Chains A and B, each alone.
Chain A
């Protein structure tokens, strides 16, 4: 490929060093190195050169972490190193929210960006007050500035609102991107402006990756029945428990994991053989926990049976569904278990390479997993002969860069290939043509940990837990108006009431207004749904969904219209923009909900609603928008983008105030 590089300024030494740290020094002038005599006589390009494209996002991360933005010069250097046209590389860089393609304010480079969560759970916990305080202390959202006062001094800081950061049980959360430092990404929760100031001044607790520390460092809170005061997780009480080790093993220590029974399940899997493992998973009737509830054994069987080689297995740890934090707790508390489970998956599917795609907003979990992978490799649990057997397997961790859509499995595969996270049309399914066009299986973190439990108790015993249609246990992410938000594990079959009561019931004994089940892509249910069993079949019968296990409890003081505005903003922001129904439908939905909900205090850009026609006309329009997004969108994002709003309308939580009457001002605005 003949690249035309157009940047006016070449990459700085620091930018080149950041790239070379990932890719090694450039071997020839063709790849951006110094000119050597033989370069004039040697052709360079072809598959080998283009075959490195998949490292694009890794390299962009390296530049962002070092320089605070992706400069044109740095992008050109990357283009040369990976044989990617600059326009295409820019298309990728400008897709992900954690990459910046404009420089930090003059003279303040490298920049610092503080992402403050204002998503659904944090909204309920008071995110607007926090954002107001951030504005007071750090200036308006999005503005590059040097903060003064409060003793803070430092280079340019920008703060901005962020979608859910997966700390919903902690009440508030922030991610700090701080280029050029030893901890370029750092998660903080709960967060206050003072905590941000201290973190930026370097006086906060050690950044990023607290390794070698024992369990109570976990960034979560206690649920009932747990000894340590810092752990949110309450494990299931029956024979199956995904959270059994959480709070009991040291996430930094392979020895501690092994002492708790770690790697016995991989040993068992190696004895059962790949088909034996798949049989157990089938007998267990395991359904995927990432949201779609697809039977896991079908995927694994399709990949295992596919004669094409090589094959890949991928763990989807992109957890970005607003309100969801289960995978983070599992990865922070029990990282070796995920490494072991992914190894089992690789063995069952006949793959030699696994990828673990973790969202970029989880530096703590990523650090612990990276450590776990390295230790596993060092001790022969990964590598050419796993546990001394003739089974070769290794794991590479890949970091997302701020895109909810990258959690959709085919978008995730594109992201792994170094592309924009645009979902693919299915068929073909990943089991036929996935990563690099090869057979690929993708599973959620919770699904994989469930496989370890299946191997521990046996498929039939696992299937005996729960209900016939929903086997095993399920993790629920409790947040909102409950006294003890956190991660709870229950055998399938419990009712919504039990789960809410388990977290202490509605805080302060207030009346329950509604529950958001399954996250932003889920639905609102009212108090009349309290006795609904939280099973696949139970929620389906009620027109609800379990989704990723979100249970966001809302008392009578919460403004549902304000939450709907946040949700519709989320979908518009996170749509990949590829297909028309979702790209425009999410915009039209947001506009419509803005008209129905009216202004929301503190929300950026909220003004007076300017209704179109009657509420009836608005609801008819909503129905049409819902129709096309659900029926004609490429992927699940568009297909579920209206479910929360539609369910809220059904419950009368929005769109009722004026029913039957015209909005004021209809005539001047009318259709």
Chain B
């Protein structure tokens, strides 16, 4: 939980969720209300430290009187709303959203929460047939809006494509991308204000891209890694982690996490050092840190090599 500063008291709003009365402060979302009730509500594009973009639709709930389901992550609770979070409609749509994603992107490295929802909603991506072969390098990036090759239907289209490894800080494996927009938000208005990446193209060929798909070193990227910090699927990954996974040496069960303060500057960001075999393998920052809200700069996130270098020289 994020710690809450006491503000001027807000009016309270009464809503009913699954038959139970819930009281939330005015301005709270239905997701806030669900969580206050302890209802496990899946979310993919929502994150506490980002502006809701409400695009993934996995958090939908049924509000009586509304023609369609509504995204709980962004819909403000209104007095008298009658909400259902576990109706047939809600379960079907959530399952289908997860199934669509699992059938079109590689979700094997998604967070534990995501994998739990995939299991509990009974997702079966094989219903759409065997996955189509991956696109070649740059093929999806060259897609033109409003055009595609009509399929024969014998295979399920995916976003599969080669991993982009073009810099020393992190890799972009867009075969895992579910287009949740989080990295774009973190790179832009919600944190970094660098705007190195954006959503390009449209439809199923919509993708996260620099201008003209130039490499990250050629782009405006400053390697803060804040996009990595918010990515829910492992599509964005530090090169250190990627290399160990490729080598088969990445083993989270052997990792410990040490919370400390970044030594570089006076801001004093909270950092979590992920350590395997007495070596730092990754640095993150807790989302609920009041200093960082989960965001760091290039030094805090990637500048840990000196620690292990010095040890080696001794």
Interface, chain A (partner B; CB < 8 A): 1, 3-4, 6, 72, 75, 85-91, 94-97, 100-102, 142, 160, 163, 402-403, 405, 420, 425, 565, 569, 572-581, 583-588, 590-595, 599, 603-612, 621, 624-625, 627-628, 630-634, 639, 669, 671
| Contact between chains at B68 and A630 (CB < 8 Å) | yes
Least distance between A23 CB and chain B CB atoms (Å): 20
Least distance between B133 CB and chain A CB atoms (Å): 14
Question: Which residues between 44 and 80 of chain B lie within 8 Å of chain A, taking CB atoms?
Answer: 54-58, 60, 68-69, 71, 74
B65-99 CB mask vs A (1 if < 8 Å, else 0) is: 00011010010000000000000010011001100
Least distance between A626 CB and chain B CB atoms (Å): 10
Query: Given known contacts A569-B150, A580-B101, is B54 in contact with A425 (CB within 8 Å)?
Result: yes
| Contact between chains at A86 and B145 (CB < 8 Å) | no
| Contact between chains at A608 and B152 (CB < 8 Å) | yes
B9 within 8 A of A: no
User: What are 9 A-B contacts with C-beta separation under 8 Å?
Assistant: A85-B220, A102-B142, A577-B202, A581-B100, A584-B101, A594-B151, A627-B96, A634-B57, A671-B126
List the A residue with the shortest CB-CB distance to B219. A6
B210 within 8 A of A: yes
Given the complex of chains A and B, what is the CA–CA distance between A316 and B82 in angstroms? 35
Given the complex of chains A and B, what is the CA–CA distance between A590 and B148 in angstroms? 11
Stretch at the interface among B22-30, B192-200, B247-255, B258-266: B192-200
| Contact between chains at A573 and B201 (CB < 8 Å) | no
Least distance between A310 CB and chain B CB atoms (Å): 24
Least distance between A422 CB and chain B CB atoms (Å): 8
List the B residue with the shortest CB-CB distance to A623. B92
| Contact between chains at B149 and A592 (CB < 8 Å) | no
Given the complex of chains A and B, what is the CA–CA distance between A608 and B211 in angstroms? 38
In the complex, what residues of A have CB within 8 A of residue B74's CB?
425
Stretch at the interface among B13-21, B108-116, B153-161: B153-161
| Contact between chains at B204 and A87 (CB < 8 Å) | no
List the A residue with the shortest CB-CB distance to B212. A72
In the complex, what residues of B have CB within 8 A of residue A587's CB?
104, 157, 204
| Contact between chains at B150 and A605 (CB < 8 Å) | yes
20 extra interface residue pairs, beta carbon distance < 8 Å, beyond A91-B209, A669-B129: A6-B218, A85-B196, A87-B197, A160-B147, A420-B199, A572-B148, A573-B146, A583-B206, A585-B100, A590-B150, A591-B155, A592-B153, A595-B154, A604-B149, A625-B96, A628-B93, A628-B96, A632-B96, A633-B57, A634-B54
| Contact between chains at A402 and B145 (CB < 8 Å) | yes
| Contact between chains at A621 and B127 (CB < 8 Å) | yes
Least distance between B301 CB and chain A CB atoms (Å): 20
In the complex, what residues of A have CB within 8 A of residue B104's CB?
584, 587
| Contact between chains at A608 and B220 (CB < 8 Å) | no
In the complex, what residues of A have CB within 8 A of residue B214's CB?
6
In the complex, what residues of B have CB within 8 A of residue A604's CB?
149-150
List the B residue with the shortest CB-CB distance to A402. B146
Residue of A3, A91, A593, A625 with most partner-chain B CB within 10 A = A91
B144 within 8 A of A: yes
In the complex, what residues of A have CB within 8 A of residue B146's CB?
97, 163, 402-403, 573-574
Least distance between A46 CB and chain B CB atoms (Å): 14
Given the complex of chains A and B, what is the CA–CA distance between A145 and B150 in angstroms? 23
| Contact between chains at B144 and A631 (CB < 8 Å) | no
In the complex, what residues of B have CB within 8 A of residue A581's CB?
57, 93, 96-97, 100
B128 within 8 A of A: yes
Least distance between B124 CB and chain A CB atoms (Å): 8
B43 within 8 A of A: no
| Contact between chains at A87 and B129 (CB < 8 Å) | no
B241 within 8 A of A: no
In the complex, what residues of B have CB within 8 A of residue A88's CB?
188, 195, 198
| Contact between chains at A577 and B129 (CB < 8 Å) | no
Given the complex of chains A and B, what is the CA–CA distance between A581 and B144 in angstroms? 21
List the B residue with the shortest CB-CB distance to A571. B203
Least distance between B58 CB and chain A CB atoms (Å): 7
Least distance between B55 CB and chain A CB atoms (Å): 5
Residue in B54, B92, B195, B201 whose beta carbon sits within 8 Å of that of A85 in the complex: B195
The 5 closest A-B pairs by CB, nearest first: A610-B154, A577-B206, A594-B153, A85-B195, A607-B152
| Contact between chains at B220 and A575 (CB < 8 Å) | no
In the complex, what residues of A have CB within 8 A of residue B209's CB?
87, 90-91, 94
| Contact between chains at B211 and A75 (CB < 8 Å) | yes
| Contact between chains at B55 and A580 (CB < 8 Å) | yes
Given the complex of chains A and B, what is the CA–CA distance between A101 and B210 in angstroms? 13
B178 within 8 A of A: yes
| Contact between chains at B93 and A576 (CB < 8 Å) | no
In the complex, what residues of A have CB within 8 A of residue B103's CB?
584, 588
Residue of B55, B148, B151, B202 with most partner-chain A CB within 10 A = B202
| Contact between chains at B212 and A91 (CB < 8 Å) | no
| Contact between chains at B152 and A609 (CB < 8 Å) | yes
| Contact between chains at A6 and B211 (CB < 8 Å) | yes
In the complex, what residues of A have CB within 8 A of residue B101's CB?
580, 584
Query: Given known contacts A94-B201, A580-B178, A584-B103, is B157 in contact with A591 (CB within 8 Å)?
Result: yes
| Contact between chains at B97 and A580 (CB < 8 Å) | yes
Given the complex of chains A and B, what is the CA–CA distance between A75 and B204 in angstroms? 24
| Contact between chains at B145 and A97 (CB < 8 Å) | yes
Given the complex of chains A and B, what is the CA–CA distance between A420 and B188 in angstroms? 16
| Contact between chains at A94 and B220 (CB < 8 Å) | no
| Contact between chains at A631 and B151 (CB < 8 Å) | no
In the complex, what residues of A have CB within 8 A of residue B193's CB?
1
Given the complex of chains A and B, what is the CA–CA distance between A251 and B149 in angstroms? 41
| Contact between chains at A86 and B211 (CB < 8 Å) | yes
B34 within 8 A of A: no
B230 within 8 A of A: no
B272 within 8 A of A: no
In the complex, what residues of B have CB within 8 A of residue A577's CB?
179, 199, 201-206
| Contact between chains at B148 and A573 (CB < 8 Å) | yes
Residue in B127, B149, B150, B196 whose beta carbon sits within 8 Å of that of A565 in the complex: B150
In the complex, what residues of B have CB within 8 A of residue A628's CB?
92-93, 96-97, 100
Least distance between B66 CB and chain A CB atoms (Å): 10
Least distance between B166 CB and chain A CB atoms (Å): 13
| Contact between chains at B211 and A90 (CB < 8 Å) | yes
| Contact between chains at B204 and A572 (CB < 8 Å) | yes
In the complex, what residues of B have CB within 8 A of residue A612's CB?
127-129
| Contact between chains at A90 and B60 (CB < 8 Å) | no
In the complex, what residues of B have CB within 8 A of residue A611's CB?
153
Least distance between B303 CB and chain A CB atoms (Å): 21
| Contact between chains at A631 and B93 (CB < 8 Å) | yes
Given the complex of chains A and B, what is the CA–CA distance between A85 and B197 in angstroms? 9
Given the complex of chains A and B, what is the CA–CA distance between A579 and B89 in angstroms? 18
| Contact between chains at B220 and A591 (CB < 8 Å) | no
List the A residue with the shortest CB-CB distance to B76. A427
| Contact between chains at B100 and A85 (CB < 8 Å) | no
| Contact between chains at A591 and B153 (CB < 8 Å) | yes
